[in-house]
C-alpha cells in the first residue's frame, strides 16, 4: 500500500470524490428515467402511479428500482450485474434522507444521513459490516468523530461540546481510557 493509500485523509477525500461521482451518476440516471416516463405520457396533467418501478438491462436483470423500502419510506436502489444492492438513495417514513453504498458482497460500507431531529451522520464500515468510523453532528451543531475497532468498541473520539470545549478520548485494548479536555 502506498503512503497516499495509508493516509486516512487522502482515503476519505478519495472516497468523497467517488461518492460525489456516484451521486451525480445516480441523479442523471434518475432524471433520464423520469424524463422518459414523462415523455411517454401523452395528455397534459396525466399521472403515472405505481408501487414499484424497475429498470432492467438487456438480459432482463433488474438494475434499479424506485419503490417503497423494506424498512419503510421510499428510495432508489441501484443493483449490480450480479444482483447485489450497491447503492441506495432514500427517505425514511420520518422524512430523514439517506444515501448508502455497499460492497460487492452486500456489506454497507458507507452511509450518510440526516435524522428527523436535525442531526447528521456519516459512517464508514469494514467489509464485515462493523462500523469503524463515524462523523456525527448533533441537532445543536456539536460535532463528534468516533473510531471503533473490529469488535465495535469505541477506541477514540474527538469532538466539541455546545460550549465550544474540545474533547479527546482514547481507549486502549486493556480498557485504559485517557480523556483530555482541549
Q: What is the pLDDT of residue 4?
A: 47
Which of 95, 134, 80 lies closest to 112, judged by CA?
134
Q: Work out the pLDDT band at 1, boundaries 50, 70, 90.
A: very low
Residue with cell 475497532: 149
Domain ranges for the chain, please list them: 107-182
Q: Cell numbers of 119, please?
A: 442531526
Reported pTM: 0.69
Specify whether domain 107-182 bears CATH 3.90.1200.10: no
pLDDT in tens, 103-156: 998 899 999 999 989 999 999 999 888 999 999 999 999 999 999 998 889 999
Amino acid at each position: 500500500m502506498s503512503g497516499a493509500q495509508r493516509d486516512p485523509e487522502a482515503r476519505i477525500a478519495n472516497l468523497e470524490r467517488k461518492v460525489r461521482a456516484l451521486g451525480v451518476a445516480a441523479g442523471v440516471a434518475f432524471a433520464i428515467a423520469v424524463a422518459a416516463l414523462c415523455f411517454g405520457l401523452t395528455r397534459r396533467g396525466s399521472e403515472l402511479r405505481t408501487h414499484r418501478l424497475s429498470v432492467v438491462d438487456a438480459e432482463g436483470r433488474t438494475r434499479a428500482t424506485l419503490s417503497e423500502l423494506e424498512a419503510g419510506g421510499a428510495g432508489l436502489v441501484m443493483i449490480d450485474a450480479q444482483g447485489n444492492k450497491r447503492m441506495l438513495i432514500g427517505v425514511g417514513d420520518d422524512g430523514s434522507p439517506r444515501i448508502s453504498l455497499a460492497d460487492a458482497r452486500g456489506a454497507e460500507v458507507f452511509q450518510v444521513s440526516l435524522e428527523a431531529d436535525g442531526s447528521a451522520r456519516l459512517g464508514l464500515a469494514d467489509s464485515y459490516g462493523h462500523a469503524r468510523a463515524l462523523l456525527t453532528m448533533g441537532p445543536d451543531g456539536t460535532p463528534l468523530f468516533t473510531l471503533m475497532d473490529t469488535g465495535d468498541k469505541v477506541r477514540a473520539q474527538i469532538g466539541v461540546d455546545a460550549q465550544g470545549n474540545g474533547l479527546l478520548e482514547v481507549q486502549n485494548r486493556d480498557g485504559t481510557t485517557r480523556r483530555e479536555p482541549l
